Structure 1
Amino acid sequence: MPEIDVLTQVLPPIGAAAAAYGAAVLTKAEDAAATETVRLGQRLLARIRHRGASADGVQRAVLTLATADADELADARAALRLELRRLLASDQELRDDLAASLPPATSSSSASSVGDRNIVVGGDNTGIATVGDGNINIQSR
């Protein structure tokens, strides 16, 4: 599905913009101190907002993510991902517009994590990945 390719590229900067600016991300003008990722997220959101009512779900999900506490972050990101996926699946023109707005993909991959006890897999993982205290993992072959 082509919308998934665009989705995986637009979700991180939109999430970064929401995290950096909270609910103001939907209206905040570019800030000189903002990182390029946050500015990209703002530009992508501006394009999405111009879709009118069809983008209402994305806007609600951004606001939810922007105000989520630590316990709600994963669910809020998942809700944003779902709303973006729905919108991109139904709007080829927007998908093409957003794809054209993204920087060219690089051949190297990187992964990063924010917070304590997070697991980052930069490629494929075929083994056990566990976070927490006192875990016992048994893998049978």
Structure 2
Amino acid sequence: MSAEIVQLVEQAGPYLTAAVGTYGAAVLTRAQDAAADATATLGQRILQTVWRRRDGAGQAELERVVDEAADEQDESYSAAVLSRLLRRALQDDAELRAELSAMLPPPGAGSVVITASGERSIAAQHIGTAITGDGHAPPQP
């Protein structure tokens, strides 16, 4: 499998999982919702693009896999199933690879999620010095 396909699948995976988690099996046929989360909306567009490029049997298979992923409680399992499906779709379709590459943000671009948890925890994307706790004096110039 080409590195390009692996990279596309890795980039698209979170979007697919978010779309299936948000919309379930209806992700393939529902109209875009302007108020929907941007991540789920992009995942929906990716899945619909793959779905439109398939014939009747291919569409039925995609619907079945998406339906199973939507019913699955384990998000990592759903992500693996959707990634495998996308890899197969991309493997023999250079036009689809180009179309999805144009949809996806460049690697490393996009939003950053930072989580701080617990008493006195801090969260920052870029930071010089961070001192937490009691009894610390500010740094002297």
Return 5+ residue gaps in structure 1 as ranges.
114-141
Whether the 8 Å contact between 1:58 and 1:84 is mirrored in structure 2 is no
What residue number does 2:49 align with?
47
1:60 aligns with 2:71: no
Structure 1 residues 97 and 38, CA, compared in 2 at 3 Å: closer, same or farther? same
Aligned to 1:25, the other structure's residue is in SS state helix
Distance in 2 between residues matched to 1:49 and 1:32, nearest whole Å: 21
Structure 1 residues 108 and 51, CA, compared in 2 at 3 Å: closer, same or farther? closer
1:89-118 CA distance string (max 9 Å, x none): 1211101110111122336996789xxxxx
Aligned residues: 111
Q: Which has the larger radius of gyration?
A: 2
Whether the 8 Å contact between 1:62 and 1:80 is mirrored in structure 2 is yes
Structure 1 residues 112 and 85, CA, compared in 2 at 3 Å: closer, same or farther? farther
What residue number does 1:3 align with?
5
Aligned to 1:34, the other structure's residue is in SS state coil
2:51 partner letter? R
Distance in 2 between residues matched to 1:9 and 1:112, nearest whole Å: 19
Aligned to 1:52, the other structure's residue is in SS state coil
1:91 partner letter? D
Structure 1 residues 97 and 74, CA, compared in 2 at 3 Å: closer, same or farther? same
TM-score of the aligned structures, taking structure 2 as reference length? 0.67
1:65 partner letter? A
2:63 partner letter? Q
The structure 2 residue matched to 1:32, chosen from 28, 31, 34, is 34
TM-score of the aligned structures, taking structure 1 as reference length? 0.67
Return 5+ residue gaps in structure 2 as ranges.
116-141
Distance in 2 between residues matched to 1:74 and 1:61, nearest whole Å: 15
Distance in 1 between residues matched to 2:91 and 2:114, nearest whole Å: 27
Structure 1 residues 107 and 44, CA, compared in 2 at 3 Å: closer, same or farther? closer
Q: Give structure 1 regions of 4+ aligned residues with deviation exceeding 3 angstroms.
A: 54-59, 107-113
Instruction: Tell me how large the CA RMSD over aligned residues is.
Output: 2.5
